[in-house]
Amino acid sequence: MLQFASILAFPVTPTLVQQDSKTTWRLASDDLTNIISLAWEMLDPTSEQVLHNIEMLPQVSNSFFPYRSIGSGEQSLYVSDVPPNLAPKQKLNAADVIPCFICGKQFRLPMMRNHVGGHVIRSQRQSPDPTATVAVGPEPCGFCGREGCYTQLTKSGLSFKVTSQCDYHYSTMQYKAAAKFSANAPCTNVPIHCALCPTSASGTPRTIWKYNAIYHLISEHGDENQQIPSIPGQFMVDMFVHRREEAAMGFTAQETAEYRQQNQIPDSDAIDAIAESNEVGKRGRSNTQSTTGSDSHVSKQGRIA
């Protein structure tokens, strides 16, 4: 018996036809083509959600698939425009040395995310980046610094799994270690869940990169005045960048203070209090913190456009 999520089921209305001595059913080719298009769109193929949604599909190994036209023998009834990001890729090894797409410097794979994070945060803050030879987009991938990569974070109990089609995806990255500041690897830019976005067809939250959170909130959830809704406490904790991390990235204490003031970002003490409250888990309702978009982000959006 084949089991699959009901959201992937699409009703069809066949017609009965007599074929020789047997009665069989027939479906119009246009109807089947339309259903395939609808089913493909249901997987949300233009966002990172497709990585998890596609796992809902049952795997069938059968010589009759894909179907073929009776006359020509050509394959039919399949998705022909699958994004290149979904094509299987050979994962890099931890020992591989690769060039940064932003500045050209070479690093071992495990250190590329930490290096790229420096380019990303400088771009997000509109801070000078003298080594960059390529502009960083508004919502870059944390692994490679380019846009267009699909990355999905899934959580099961206390464990995290990061799935990505990025060429520089470090598949053996330890999520909790990567999300924690250290002197040798200060960058904590990791995939996080947006608590304001609707869940996917499979019920998983939307994944964004930590350093992209402010831009995401303003561009996706802000109103015409760049005001955004209240942010759940845990989401605020996940997206917060501590002073020591910014200092390691080359930002002065004054620059950090000005950026937080412009975007109404709470200080470390407030974030630590929210984190402690979430750990205890005994509050009747979740903490929320409002954040307001700033003129700096408005000007940035105009510059990127």
pLDDT at 277: 65
Number of domains in the chain: 2
What confidence tens digit (pLDDT) does each residue in 110-164 have? Answer: 999 999 999 999 999 999 999 999 999 999 999 999 998 989 998 888 899 999 9
**Residue 205 located in a structural domain:** yes
Q: Are residues 270 and 121 in the same domain?
A: yes
Residues 110 and 255 in one domain: yes
Place of tokens 């998890």: 52
Reported as a single tens digit per residue, the pLDDT across 210-269 is 999 999 999 999 887 777 788 888 898 999 999 999 999 999 999 988 888 887 777 765
Residues 149 and 58 in one domain: no
Residue in this structure with the two tokens 């930590």, named with its chain if needed: 210
Domain membership of residue 227 as a residue range: 97-300
Nearest to 82 by CA among 41, 52, 53, 49: 41
Question: pTM for this structure?
Answer: 0.72
Beta bridge partners of 154: 161
- Please identify, among 82, 108, 133, the residue that sits at the C-terminal boundary of a domain: 82
Residue 15 pairs in a beta bridge with: 26
What is the pLDDT, as a whole number, of residue 299? 40
Residue 45 sits in the same domain as residue 188: no
Same domain as 288, residue 168 = yes
Residue 89: inside a domain, yes or no? no
